[in-house]
């Protein structure tokens, strides 16, 4: 799981590096122009870089699903709680997961308008890249855990 995350983060770093060195590339302009209607977390200091990195971050749940589909056969499920507790936990985790994913990937915001930490992280290109690495990592890890938990609960209910 972490190896795939490292590859995804390396790709994000490569994209950021290319953009920082040559921001006028036609591919970046096409991405920015064609994704204007998609909600994004933007920095008012560098909206183009933040738009490109935010679009890349939206792939985190898809990559997590691909990893889960490959790795689910190796998942060891142990029933330690009652089925009722597992279902309640799944419902609570589902609500928490979708709230976090909504605010990190589907919500439009200007990072400079929020707290001091987000203003600091959006103050230059390198810190902005660090912010999007954190967003990507959080979305990827949460998605892998969510898909695994759903799979485990479904498998346990079928075995009942």
Has residue 160 got a pLDDT over 70? Answer: no
User: Of all residues in the chain, what percent carry a pLDDT higher than 70?
Assistant: 99
Mean pLDDT of all residues in 52-69: 95
Q: What angle is formed at CA 89 by the lines to CA 83 and CA 95, rounded to 5 degrees?
A: 140
Has residue 14 got a pLDDT over 80? Answer: yes
Mean pLDDT of all residues in 77-106: 90
Which residues lie closer than 8 Å to 53 by C-beta, 6 or more apart? 12, 15, 16, 128, 129, 132
Has residue 159 got a pLDDT over 80? Answer: no
Q: What is the pLDDT of residues 19-35, one digit of tens each?
A: 988 888 888 889 888 88
Per the listing, tokens 């330690």 go with 80
């Amino acid at each position: 799981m972490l190896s795939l995350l490292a590859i995804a983060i390396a790709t994000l770093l490569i994209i950021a590096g290319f953009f920082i060195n040559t921001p006028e590339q036609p591919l970046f302009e096409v991405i920015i122009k064609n994704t204007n209607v998609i909600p994004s977390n933007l920095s008012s200091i560098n909206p183009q870089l933040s738009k490109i990195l935010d679009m890349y971050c939206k792939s985190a749940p898809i990559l997590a699903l691909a990893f889960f589909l490959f790795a689910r056969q190796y998942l060891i499920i142990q029933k330690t709680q009652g089925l009722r507790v597992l279902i309640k936990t799944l419902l609570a985790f589902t609500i928490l997961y979708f709230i976090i994913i909504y605010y990190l990937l589907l919500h439009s915001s200007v990072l400079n308008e929020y707290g001091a930490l987000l203003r600091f992280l959006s103050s230059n290109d390198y810190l902005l890249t660090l912010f999007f690495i954190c967003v990507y990592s959080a979305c990827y890890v949460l998605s892998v855990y969510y898909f695994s938990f759903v799979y485990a609960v479904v498998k346990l209910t079928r075995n009942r």
